[in-house]
Structure 1
């Protein structure tokens, strides 16, 4: 009995007794390339001429590889460049909002071909090669928590090369992602998608051909198998196990829509070693046979398989051509940019023991619902109206089969997937479409919500997390779980990763449950611990040293946030808090052991529990991918450097130089100034000259300087510089030349503060109130230890999730931050393309 499925205003009738559309998978990815031109198969009658111009075609392909996404760019069938993301330099130290994040997600999913512009704050290169988007929303954690537990999070700090402060602009970030409006005012391509898909029947959007290739007619490069598909379909691929002895053709790295098509078919005989090549046929794009050779199998033949191969013992008896001879002929005949076409071509290439990089498999063009393949004979008869492999013929004719496969590929490329499906829906797939008379003008306006848009163009979406009525997504696309562990396990169990997947980890927001006071205390303790990393103690200082004079002395190492004088019974010390980790590091190197008034001062770290792992943390920060190419430099005024002789380790080297910060005077503030080596001295207020030109001139000799940042308050001169080289080699070269730079009055150290932070302590927004109390209760209780364990579990789960994503997936992890009595505490956003 026929079954009818009524959807909207169209009836679909199955003539094979199966329901159409409902069982076909929704988890299909397709490349939206609306600006690609139709293919024009280049014909040739002179193979030698084609071989002579091959280097020019190769050069053209190389140029195409280097082009960034442009409106008219031709996409390579085998891209050698992966998608990558980077943040614009001007936005590094500005937090991003949810709206700006959705800008990126829209572009990653739809791209320029869908009418979406590059985000205003970052650049996603090679967007067309993005295979999916995965977003993990972690509730209850802030930017400060990440840096407090920095050593506990090896995956997050090493796998993501883009990291930015995040400020949530919505209470429900998950819903904000799915319900965000895709801009269409200046996106004609999206309008075309709307129109085209509104005219396409809803069930046809789930047809296996449509979900794979879309509806628009595109060039041949859209149908060339990627390397991942070739590996999955058991094609010979260079470097893969089992194909070490296979011969490679001389291919260009990248073909174009004008590259020539060649049809190939082989026949095999059964030998003692399995199926071996007995005949090979090759036809050019006009269907002319350019090679038809019988081949003598290397091993003893057990069965000629004459019924299928047409090969007989008499045919092979006089043959002396070997597999090696045929391989050499094919290599000589095929142009470097040739695309081989065949039906289940992997079997032919295995028989030939040949690796060819660019192939179109017609058995995968005309796809069936559950992966079954049509026979070449059926496709040729139905599509080309051509009879092949007829019963009266003795076995298959490989020339005939190669011409049929070539014709099927050319027809598919010329006609386009939508027309192929509509023209042959009943004949090949067993379904008919009957239009129902309805008023098309009354159809509802299509939604521009992100989730709806993706599903309209055939891309699957999914949400996994705790139940929420605010998630703007159909219930069929949601999975609710009670724990982060269940969320991860459920996602990894899926047979096919949805194109857009959003996972919500909520363990931190639920723990400790209802204990808002504890959460605030915990966060305050995190802030205090982070600020301790920028603190040094100095002393004993000469009598009469004021807070202002201490600040002037220590400013030579970097900006000072706060000075606290510590007056004991006998001596004066100071607690100096720098804005940057680099300032504290340089103070320990340059000022420790400074001789003031006949006695040396000691500069050292405070001794707190939070500082016990500081050396490990600093080493990890120096190895952070965000800091690898960065250098921190301070310029000393020559007159300062000439006043004080010191012997200290600067930048890891022992140097005899003169310390900045003092010069001789008579008195200071009515008190005798401190003595250095028997001389009366005062702190100078002169500032060193530091400009982008001088920094670039000085450090450019170590490598190409990509960017220089000179932080300075309004109306003030910059005292220090952040230098970014194009590669880490520039940083290493500068550090190895620290002695020479010291002679030029520069002191340097590797960058420690991540580029997205203006200063290390800026992330600790809580006030100084209660710091003393926090330090007196510094011992971590059971809750704090549990927090440490939970952070480790989070990182391991994120690592497992990242490894399970397909290559080419844009991965985004968001620590949402949270609101407290001090206002909203910023979160953190990690981004990377796997």
Structure 2
């Protein structure tokens, strides 16, 4: 992983307030499986949003975040371009958007309380720096302007632009998977589904696969029912294949006494059922044997047919929902067949309906929709089916292109939960509360989750405003603590050892930000501050015990309150979802000159004499000179690293630090290859290695010199501890709230948690944006 060279810096650990460090350490080690499950075992068919690696070098703005929300909700069919900074997989399966704005928190708050915020660091696999905004974020999400549609045919025809079919499916022609109902739609339209639903406990499940493709076979299905003393029961079932050939047609004997044969509609009479012995169970077995695992059932209001069959099938296309009308109204199959297929079914001459004919008609109507595409279907039949006319003259754009208004036009609900403030939303869609607890409780009590919901947690902002120290000073204090994580003390060094020689030695562990020579003691020591936490870890692993001129070098961390729980933070960082497949490597260059001709021994060996990592002056990192071609040198280094680490597993990406370029982040394709690499005792070939600890969106764990210098000069120690304890408790509570919220939203919901940062008069403190699509339990299509 490569830290961003431009993103603001932050990062930290937390203090232990309640339980013992030993218990927490054991708990943290059990989290690795949870993280790997998110990173490596997510079903391929599940929707996913991820930040593109190259885009982690820059923080995102509020405008870029809202562009993602627009694309997820409206897609290309709504005229929205895909955001350039993130990737979106299976966008059509995303069923809703939930945004939580935690006011008052910055990126540094997250890394300072990193161990405490278990839910955020384990369940959210995408994390990127957020540029603070002076705007009301909650209001801006609703009021952000949706780009105008660029499709000329849709632009020029208001009847097309706001048509329910176009609004749902877009204007482009797509494969059949675009029209298969999602799990959420099946629940919404009362389809029998798997799960703890009492009314579907006795239903039989077909052996359908987890996902279907655009080449999956279609089968038309239609059933006829009668009324028994127990309600509606099945009397006939018919199935046709993609060619319209009948592959199953069975009369079924109801289990209970019939009180109405519904002959006018079903065509079933008492005489027809008298000799029938086929039961519902027989038909269920025949259907399970007939349908392939990737079969897609097609029908008109198919939910009633499946309920009558007491059958659960995961992949269905409902023609009554393809040819959509406003306000939930539906066309009859008879009307669709007549207008679209030019066929007459269910005529008065017939005694009831013919289920074979109806199944074939529904299948053909669906095939026509899929092959023709939504826009042409609407254009061809707009007047006959929807009673509107197409005008060729350009018309005005909708009066409002605000995101919330566009969603409501599409019959997608929006809602705001939080403290009373100026939100660009109708009052009927706002719920005001005084505390974060009330906000969460109100959202969880909502019967139907809105498609777009924004929750505003304001307790942290209120708490920080009550503190004696301003926001900038609190941030500087955190950054100073974070900087201590990257500091080591080393010594004693031989007499005359210079700062340049110390830097050259410690560069074998990572980029060095600052060195301070300590000459106040009898022997010479140094304080070394690395840019990356990995550097400090490697220094402790590889340089502690180094022999220089017969003297044993001791490398140790500073002892102060900010690093007391650092071991817990390191354990958690090693299992971070952002680095679950990555390691940090640096080419060793132990070339130390002491007093001109003097030699230095590295772990008992003289560099350049049989020591891995000893380099010739005629080589560059062990490779021949490139003749000044910078591009060739960079590629050669990447190839050398790939050759070394490719022996342990497939390497997905190699990222070189710009300067010095001997430091690299190696990401493997498999989660299993990282432990294999780390089993080599922190060294592979010429490289010192350790787990990745720096998140890819961070430039460095250390802050600028000005920031580090601004410490807690004016606050007493008691006041600092008191404020730290209060913030720690609030962070624990926040993580519980966010965990409950995550569990309460439906599957396939895009969740966004935003620490908005701080936009002060003299300084901007970066925020942090978390992204995750809640993965379903395998039920989604």
Q: CA RMSD in A?
A: 4.8
Please give the alpha-carbon distance, in whole angstroms, between the structure 1 residues aligned to 2:571 and 2:466. Answer: 37
Q: What is the aligned counterpart of 1:188 among 137, 140, 150?
A: 150
Q: Give a deviation string over 1:46-90, Cα, whole Å, max 9, x none.
A: xxxxxxxxxxxxxxxxxxxxxxxxxxxxxxxxx962332232332
Mapped pair 1:689 → 2:642: no
Please report how far the alpha carbon of residue 525 of structure 1 lies from its aligned counterpart in structure 2 after TM superposition: 2.0
Mapped pair 1:148 → 2:112: yes
Q: What is the aligned counterpart of 2:749 among 802, 809, 814?
A: 809
Q: What is the aligned counterpart of 1:781 among 711, 714, 721?
A: 721
Deviates more, 1:229-238 or 1:414-423: 414-423
Contact residue 496 and residue 595 of structure 2 kept, 8 A? no
Please report how far the alpha carbon of residue 789 of structure 1 lies from its aligned counterpart in structure 2 after TM superposition: 1.4
Contact residue 132 and residue 808 of structure 1 kept, 8 A? yes
Please give the alpha-carbon distance, in whole angstroms, between the structure 2 residues aligned to 1:392 and 1:97. Answer: 64
Q: Give a deviation string over 1:435-480, Cα, whole Å, max 9, x none.
A: xxxxx999676444444444455544444333444x4445554444
Please report how far the alpha carbon of residue 506 of structure 1 lies from its aligned counterpart in structure 2 after TM superposition: 2.4
SS state at 1:151 partner = coil
The verdict on how the C-alpha distance between 1:789 and 1:336 changes in structure 2, with shifts beyond 3 A counting, is: closer
Unaligned runs of 5+ in 1: 1-78, 426-431, 435-439, 641-659
Contact residue 133 and residue 759 of structure 2 kept, 8 A? no
Q: What is the aligned counterpart of 1:83 among 37, 41, 47?
A: 47
Please give the alpha-carbon distance, in whole angstroms, between the structure 1 residues aligned to 2:436 and 2:83. Answer: 31
Deviates more, 1:489-498 or 1:775-784: 775-784
Q: Which residue of 1 aligns with 2:98?
A: 134
Q: Which residue of 1 aligns with 2:678?
A: 735
Q: Which residue of 1 aligns with 2:647?
A: 701
Mapped pair 1:605 → 2:561: no
Q: What is the aligned counterpart of 2:486 among 534, 557, 581?
A: 534
Q: Which residue of 1 aligns with 2:730?
A: 790
Q: Which residue of 1 aligns with 2:501?
A: 549
Q: Which residue of 1 aligns with 2:204?
A: 246
Please give the alpha-carbon distance, in whole angstroms, between the structure 2 residues aligned to 1:289 and 1:721. Answer: 63
Mapped pair 1:751 → 2:692: yes
Q: What is the aligned counterpart of 1:226 among 162, 182, 201?
A: 182
Q: What is the aligned counterpart of 1:583 among 528, 531, 535?
A: 535
Contact residue 597 and residue 677 of structure 1 kept, 8 A? no
Please give the alpha-carbon distance, in whole angstroms, between the structure 2 residues aligned to 1:675 and 1:731. Answer: 27
Please give the alpha-carbon distance, in whole angstroms, between the structure 2 residues aligned to 1:562 and 1:382. Answer: 78
SS state at 2:448 partner = coil
Q: Give a deviation string over 1:380-422, Cα, whole Å, max 9, x none.
A: 99999979598996x8765576577668878988895799897
Please report how far the alpha carbon of residue 747 of structure 1 lies from its aligned counterpart in structure 2 after TM superposition: 1.2
Q: Which residue of 1 aligns with 2:15?
A: none
Please give the alpha-carbon distance, in whole angstroms, between the structure 1 residues aligned to 2:361 and 2:413. Answer: 35
Contact residue 214 and residue 417 of structure 1 kept, 8 A? no
Mapped pair 1:105 → 2:48: no
The verdict on how the C-alpha distance between 1:131 and 1:194 changes in structure 2, with shifts beyond 3 A counting, is: farther
Deviates more, 1:796-805 or 1:191-200: 191-200
Please give the alpha-carbon distance, in whole angstroms, between the structure 1 residues aligned to 2:665 and 2:172. Answer: 49
- 1:154-553 residue pairs with structure 2 within 5 A? 154-184=118-148, 187-189=149-151, 192-197=153-158, 223-231=179-187, 235-237=191-193, 246=204, 248=206, 253-254=211-212, 256=214, 260=218, 262-267=220-225, 277-282=234-239, 291-295=248-252, 301-303=256-258, 305-307=260-262, 315-316=272-273, 318-321=275-278, 326=283, 330=287, 339-342=296-299, 344-352=301-309, 354-361=311-318, 398-399=355-356, 402=359, 446-469=399-422, 471-513=423-465, 515=467, 517-553=469-505
SS state at 1:509 partner = helix
Q: Which residue of 2 aligns with 1:35?
A: none
Contact residue 538 and residue 601 of structure 1 kept, 8 A? yes
Unaligned runs of 5+ in 2: 1-42, 609-613, 623-636, 775-781
Q: What is the aligned counterpart of 1:761 among 685, 694, 702?
A: 702
Q: Which residue of 1 aligns with 2:769?
A: 829
Please give the alpha-carbon distance, in whole angstroms, between the structure 2 residues aligned to 1:323 and 1:676. Answer: 79
Q: What is the aligned counterpart of 1:710 among 640, 656, 660?
A: 656
Contact residue 633 and residue 746 of structure 1 kept, 8 A? yes
Q: Normalised by the size of structure 2, how large is the TM-score?
A: 0.75
Please give the alpha-carbon distance, in whole angstroms, between the structure 2 residues aligned to 1:569 and 1:333. Answer: 86
Q: Which residue of 1 aligns with 2:663?
A: 720
SS state at 1:797 partner = helix
Q: Normalised by the size of structure 1, how large is the TM-score?
A: 0.71
Q: Give a deviation string over 1:747-768, Cα, whole Å, max 9, x none.
A: 1111111111122114x67533
Contact residue 221 and residue 256 of structure 1 kept, 8 A? yes
The verdict on how the C-alpha distance between 1:562 and 1:491 changes in structure 2, with shifts beyond 3 A counting, is: same
Q: What is the aligned counterpart of 1:122 among 86, 96, 120?
A: 86
Please give the alpha-carbon distance, in whole angstroms, between the structure 2 residues aligned to 1:172 and 1:500. Answer: 17
Mapped pair 1:622 → 2:577: no
Please give the alpha-carbon distance, in whole angstroms, between the structure 2 residues aligned to 1:372 and 1:182. Answer: 28
Contact residue 300 and residue 333 of structure 2 kept, 8 A? yes
The verdict on how the C-alpha distance between 1:375 and 1:304 changes in structure 2, with shifts beyond 3 A counting, is: farther
Please give the alpha-carbon distance, in whole angstroms, between the structure 1 residues aligned to 2:639 and 2:171. Answer: 55
Q: What is the aligned counterpart of 2:583 among 604, 627, 631?
A: 631
Please give the alpha-carbon distance, in whole angstroms, between the structure 2 residues aligned to 1:257 and 1:712. Answer: 47
Please report how far the alpha carbon of residue 581 of structure 1 lies from its aligned counterpart in structure 2 after TM superposition: 0.9
Please give the alpha-carbon distance, in whole angstroms, between the structure 1 residues aligned to 2:383 and 2:447. Answer: 29
Please give the alpha-carbon distance, in whole angstroms, between the structure 2 residues aligned to 1:239 and 1:480. Answer: 34
The verdict on how the C-alpha distance between 1:146 and 1:416 changes in structure 2, with shifts beyond 3 A counting, is: same
Contact residue 263 and residue 284 of structure 1 kept, 8 A? no
The verdict on how the C-alpha distance between 1:545 and 1:795 changes in structure 2, with shifts beyond 3 A counting, is: same
Deviates more, 1:365-374 or 1:819-828: 365-374
The verdict on how the C-alpha distance between 1:807 and 1:197 changes in structure 2, with shifts beyond 3 A counting, is: farther
Contact residue 45 and residue 211 of structure 2 kept, 8 A? no
The verdict on how the C-alpha distance between 1:591 and 1:465 changes in structure 2, with shifts beyond 3 A counting, is: same
Please report how far the alpha carbon of residue 213 of structure 1 lies from its aligned counterpart in structure 2 after TM superposition: 6.6
Contact residue 534 and residue 584 of structure 1 kept, 8 A? yes
Please report how far the alpha carbon of residue 264 of structure 1 lies from its aligned counterpart in structure 2 after TM superposition: 1.6
Please give the alpha-carbon distance, in whole angstroms, between the structure 2 residues aligned to 1:774 and 1:541. Answer: 36
Please give the alpha-carbon distance, in whole angstroms, between the structure 1 residues aligned to 2:715 and 2:586. Answer: 32
Q: Give a deviation string over 1:699-750, Cα, whole Å, max 9, x none.
A: 112222222222133xxx42321112223222222112347x45x2221111
The verdict on how the C-alpha distance between 1:145 and 1:702 changes in structure 2, with shifts beyond 3 A counting, is: same
Q: Which has the higher contact order (CA 8 A, sep 6+)?
A: 2
Please give the alpha-carbon distance, in whole angstroms, between the structure 1 residues aligned to 2:129 and 2:607. Answer: 48
Count, aligned residues:
700
Please give the alpha-carbon distance, in whole angstroms, between the structure 2 residues aligned to 1:389 and 1:749. Answer: 76
Contact residue 542 and residue 674 of structure 1 kept, 8 A? no
